[in-house]
A = this chain, B = another copy of it.
């Protein structure tokens, strides 16, 4: 991911939300992206705000995110506020005509996400990138490159594995789908280059008397072009964090090789350490995500996961929830995608 300091001017940007992901993004932008300058931060937690501002050298701080968006020094905005504010803040950025990288989910419902899409389409050009960051994972990219080369023929099936080490509390079906599986739904759409038209989801609850919770969920996918797919989303694997994909083509398959740890032989085991969470597994991806975003802002040409992707994955997620609840397959009524979302 190149970002040529010499020929392109630096970008002055603001970050809304300085908690976990927001703070990480701010630090990545500051320390890992040559062309980026953090000039503004917004948060209602004043102490946290000032700490991050000091670390990043940000000149402006705001309690009100709307002020940050309006500020003339801010050219582009990264939204890492709590989920319920995502849609409104992104809409405000579109209205202000400023490029925005919004953490996933883009909105709390497909309907709300669709309104963002409509606003952006009305403006005639892409301003929104959504934080569906699997696209920046080197391991995923290698698989995509191989499939795109055509050497393995047309893609027939998508296989996604999303394993979480453990959680502090039981997760509802809704939570599992919208917060975890949504990444895999996006990976499926992105890697297959096709839309999902039907889903079937089933799951193992944390306990039999809490059928609203999902410890492990399996989702089966039907793509518009005839291919199929399957996703495993394990919320409490008990051993570590792993995200992998495999694509089956007509003449072979390609699968991520994501384990980077050393091979250790010890106590009758030939073992490799498995990462604990997404911050470890996707450390490089988070950096490459903001680098690519800054680059696209410099070039004035948005690419990366779009508002459409944010909307579409949410629409499929809603179908998954309905399927898990009803025990029946559910069709996805995907509207036609506007031309501005067509990717190279």
Contacts and interface: CB of A to CB of B under 8 A. Distances in A.
Interface of A: 2-7, 30-34, 54-57, 138-139, 142-143, 146, 151-153, 156-157, 159, 165, 200, 202-205, 208, 215-216, 218, 220, 222, 226-230, 232, 234, 236-240, 242, 248-257, 259-276, 327-329
Contacts of A208: 226
Contacts of A146: 262, 264
B265 A257 contact: no
Given A152-B264, A204-B226, A237-B253, 5 more contacts: A152-B238, A157-B232, A208-B226, A251-B267, A270-B274
Contact of A204 (B156, B242, B259, B261): B156
A272 B157 CA distance: 20
8 contacts: A4-B31, A5-B56, A138-B260, A157-B232, A236-B250, A237-B252, A240-B269, A252-B266
Contacts of A200: 200, 202, 220, 329
B254 A267 contact: no
Nearest to A204: B156
Given A204-B156, A271-B269, A216 B239 contact: no
